[in-house]
Amino acid sequence: MAPRVLISDKLSDAAVQIFKDRGVEVDFRPDLGKDKDKLAEVIGDYDGLAIRSATKVTPKILEKASRLKVIGRAGIGVDNVDIPAATARGVIVMNTPFGNSITTAEHAIAMMFALARQIPQADASTQAGKWEKNRFMGVELTAKTLGIIGCGNIGSIVAERGIGLKMKVIAFDPFLSPERALALGVEKVELDELLARADVITLHTPLTEKTKNVLSAENIARAKPGVRIINCARGGLVDEVALRAALDSGHVAGAAFDVFSVEPAETNVLFGHPNVVCTPHLGAATTEAQENVALQVAEQMSDYLLAGAISNAVNFPSITAEEAPRLKPFIALAEKLGSFAGQLTDTDIKTVRITYEGAVAEQKVKALTSAAIAGLLRPVLADVNVVSAPSVAKERGIVIEETTRDAVGDYDSLVTLSVVADDFERHVAGTVFADGQPRIVDIKGIKVDAGFAPNMLYVTNEDKPGFIGRFASLLGDAGVNIATFALGRDHPGGDAIALVEVDGPVPADVLGKVSALPHVRQVKQLRF
Ligand SMILES: NC(=O)C1=CN([C@@H]2O[C@H](COP(=O)(O)OP(=O)(O)OC[C@H]3O[C@@H](n4cnc5c(N)ncnc54)[C@H](O)[C@@H]3O)[C@@H](O)[C@H]2O)C=CC1
Ligand SMILES: O=C(O)C(=O)COP(=O)(O)O
């Protein structure tokens, strides 16, 4: 069945065409983003949801999204998606981190000129029939200092444009490396210095706990008198009430805002001030940017839904379309090894150690670890999946340790999973053979060679003569057919294990009889 995608925001038609061309069913309902009740009603029918900033993907919406596998944001900011809730439900959230950055940087530059020359105000006055040549005295930008808060993709483009305008560009961004600053021709400074020196401040950070109110009343007061402030990033980065007061007092000469603490901003404390210029979240609104992000999000979502390829996910490592088929058998192996350990573990797991040896260590092991954890937790938490597993494990206080190394043993690739609880540690290892089938090759240091099957018995016993015969006839008498039988032991007469594939579930009374056989220590029914 073809996957189904809902577009609930105003995306370029290009997205619809891409989905159709790729064989994905698509419903274009740009009205739904603003109608959360209707969205909740229909979301259960879709595997994918393509959005911009108008659709709020809340835990309530996600609760109804029983089929949803991927949310694609045609744009950059994903603050309208509850990422932890999506992750907990195993939904990949992806964005298009570059498609609209030039356009948004250009909007910030446009806003800077609008402020410097009061273009919107002069336009309104001129078209109102006034000829107020003396009212609109501007400032020249050449040689002025442009202070950029957040010098990432967009901030860097603004910096380059600022330098092109012969401005002195300084930037505050704790994650901006000195090398990158040098390459951009930007002077990296602390926030206080930026505030003290900048004639124009432009914000280009995401909204986080750290950046919220980065231009607080206090910081606005520290800014240079006559400063102009531009926000084309996110509402909430600037204390709007404090900014209004600073505009009223004349400390701030002008402000240009594209984003607001509440959107859509039908009212705002900044509105109506003569030195304020506002646009309704238009940063990304050009034909070019909208085409870029729509095409990209549709391609990315189709790649995931049709081929398991993941790019630009904010809650999962990237997997290319070439990697996905190579990774698939190892994902199955990791998940089954996890499941094996999970089905044998009844107590609280403290630590999970996963070691990747040989060729597999070169693959995207983060994805494999997530699969192993999903397999491990599934016996207790039915709806955990590869995306949600790491966050669920974290919530339960399970420490995950991951190691990669060169091949040391007989296998090209070996994955070893160790589960540590208070009173025991259990290891299980497996590989993928040339046929692409995962195999279990080591349990607790005992070598075995078994595939995974829907119904299996795992028996541990003392290595004493007679066990196999008694065990096989007991199952035979109970009408349980043995399909495959794998044995291993640490040394003659020592600890032995049997992994037995049977043709159907084994009744509890038969399991009881197996565990009562002489020398049997443990018997467990496993399902894969
Ligand atoms: N107005 C609009 O329509 C649009 C707005 N945006 C918004 O623009 C913002 C920036 O986007 P990008 O440049 O693509 O993001 P980015 O992730 O490339 O850059 C953000 C930069 O902020 C820096 N940063 C993080 N925490 C910081 C802190 N505490 N102080 C200073 N710097 C900090 C990061 O190191 C990074 O360099 C985002 O919030 C995005 O949602 C993006 C596109 C359109
Ligand atoms: O990409 C972003 O972060 C934006 O803010 C653009 O928002 P929009 O897609 O225009 O609603």
Q: Is the CB–ligand 1 distance for residue 255 below 6 Å?
A: no
pLDDT of res. 514: 94
* Whether the Cβ atoms of residue 499 and residue 440 lie closer than 8 Å to each other: yes
Q: How far is CA 310 from the centre of its chain?
A: 10
pLDDT at site 348: 83
**Mean pLDDT along residues 71-85:** 95
Distance 78 CA to ligand 2 centre (A): 9
Q: What is the pLDDT of residue 354?
A: 98
Q: Tell me if 274 CB under 6 Å of ligand 1.
A: no
What tokens appear for 181 in the block?
């600053």
Could you tell me what percent of the chain has a pLDDT over 70? 100
Any bridge partners for residue 51, and if so which? 73
Pairing of strands 446-451, 455-462: unpaired
**Phi, psi for residue 357 in degrees, rounded to 5:** -120, 140
**Looking at 52, 161, 234, 244, which residue is catalytic?**
234
Q: From the candidates 22, 228, 244, 281, give the one annotated as an active-site residue.
A: 281
SS3 168: strand
- Ranking 28-42, 133-147, 253-267, 372-386 by mean pLDDT, the lowest is 372-386
Looking at the chain, the domain(s) classified CATH 3.30.70.260 span 452-527
Span of 59-73, 311-325, 380-394 with lowest mean pLDDT: 380-394
**Residue ranges of the chain that CATH labels 3.30.1330.90:** 319-443
Per-residue HEC secondary structure of 201-266 comes to EEECCCCCCCCCCCECHHHHHHCCCCEEEEECCCCCCECHHHHHHHHHHCCEEEEEECCCCCCCCC
pLDDT at 409: 82
Handedness of CA 93, 94, 97, 100 (dihedral sign): negative
pLDDT > 80? residue 126: yes
pLDDT of residue 346: 78
Q: How confident is the model at residue 109 (pLDDT cuts 50, 70, 90)?
A: very high
Which of 366, 356, 360, 367 lies closest to 404 in space, CA to CA?
Answer: 356
Predicted local confidence at residue 345, as pLDDT: 85
For residue 75, how many C-alpha atoms fall within 13 Å in the half-sphere facing its CB?
A: 26
* pLDDT for residue 197 is more than 80: yes
Q: Tell me the best of 76, 288, 292 to mutate to test the pocket of ligand 2, counting ligand atoms within 8 Å of each CB and taking the most.
A: 76
Sole residue written with tokens 């919406």: 61
Tens-place pLDDT, residues 224-263:
999 999 999 999 999 999 999 999 999 999 999 999 999 9
- At 140, the pLDDT band (50, 70, 90 cuts) reads very high
Report the C-alpha gap between 151 and 194 in whole angstroms.
13
Q: Can you tell me which residue has the tokens 């045609």? A: 74
Average the pLDDT over 462-491 and give the result. Answer: 93
Report pLDDT digits (tens) over 313-359. Answer: 998 889 998 888 999 999 999 999 999 999 988 788 999 999 999 99
315 lines ligand 2 (CB under 6 A): no
Which residue's CA lies nearest to atom 10 of ligand 2?
Answer: 284
Instruction: Kindly give the distance from the C-alpha atom of residue 104 to the centroid of ligand 2, in angstroms, as a whole number.
Output: 9
C-alpha 281 – ligand 1 centre gap (Å)? 15
Annotated catalytic residue within 25, 263, 291, 402:
263
Residue in the structure block whose two tokens are 């995950």: 400
Which atom number of ligand 2 is nearest to the Cα of residue 52?
9
Identify the pLDDT of residue 486. 95
Q: Is the CB of 53 under 6 A from ligand 2?
A: yes
The structure tokens listed for 358 are 């040989």
Give the residue-averaged pLDDT of 277-286: 98
Q: Distance of CA 31 to CAs 34, 54, 59, 359, Å?
A: 6, 10, 20, 49
For ligand 1, is residue 413 a contact (CB within 6 Å)?
Answer: no
- Judged against a pLDDT cut of 90, whether residue 491 lies above it is answered with yes
- For residues 78 and 95, the answer to whether their CB atoms sit within 8 Å is yes
Task: Provide the 3-class DSSP secondary structure of residue 435.
Answer: coil
Helices (H), 2-72: 13-22, 36-42, 59-64
Distance 297 CA to ligand 1 centre (A): 19
Q: Which of 52, 257, 259 to mutate for ligand 2's pocket (most ligand atoms within 8 Å of CB)?
A: 52
Asked if the model's pLDDT at residue 219 lies above 90, the reply is yes
Q: How far apart are CA 351 and CA 243, in angstroms?
A: 50
Split at pLDDT 50, 70, 90, the class of 84 is confident
- 265-274 per-residue burial string, b: 16 or more CB within 10 A, e: under 16: beebbbeebe
Topology of domain 452-527 in CATH is Alpha-Beta Plaits (3.30.70)
Atom of ligand 1 nearest to the CA of 207: 39
Mean pLDDT value of segment 188-194: 98
Ligand nearest to the CA of 297: 2
In the reported structure, the alpha carbon of residue 105 is separated from the centroid of ligand 1 by a whole-number distance in angstroms of 11
CA distance 528 to 520: 23
Mean pLDDT of all residues in 271-280: 98
Query: Where exactly does CATH 3.40.50.720 map onto the chain?
Result: 4-99+288-307, 119-274
Whether residue 56 is predicted with pLDDT greater than 90 in this model: the reply is yes
CATH 3.30.1330.90 at 319-443, yes or no: yes
Q: Is 30 in the pocket of ligand 2 (CB under 6 A)?
A: no
Report CA-CA distances (Å) from 237 to 138, 150, 153. 26, 11, 18
Region 473-487 average pLDDT: 94
Q: Span 421-448, mean pLDDT?
A: 93
Longest Cα separation, the chain: 108
> Which contiguous run of DSSP H or E holds residue 7?
strand 4-7
Higher pLDDT, 326 or 139: 139
Contact (CB, 8 A) for 158 and 108: yes
Compute the distance from residue 84 Cα to the ligand 2 centre, in Å: 20
234 is catalytic: yes
Instruction: List beta partners, residue 497.
Output: 460, 488
Q: Is the pLDDT of residue 50 over 90?
A: yes
Q: What percent of the chain has pLDDT over 90?
A: 88
Arithmetic mean of pLDDT over the chain: 95
Alpha-carbon distances of 142 from 50, 102, 107, 146, 169, rounded to whole Å: 42, 21, 19, 10, 11
263 a catalytic residue: yes
List phi, psi (to 5°) of 69: -115, -25
Q: What is the mean pLDDT of residues 506-521?
A: 94
Q: Let me know how long the chain is.
A: 528
The domain 4-99+288-307 is placed in CATH, from the list 3.40.640.10, 3.30.540.10, 3.40.50.720, 3.65.10.10, at 3.40.50.720
Closest-approaching ligand to the CA atom of 296:
2
Average pLDDT over residues 354-374: 95
CATH of domain 119-274: 3.40.50.720
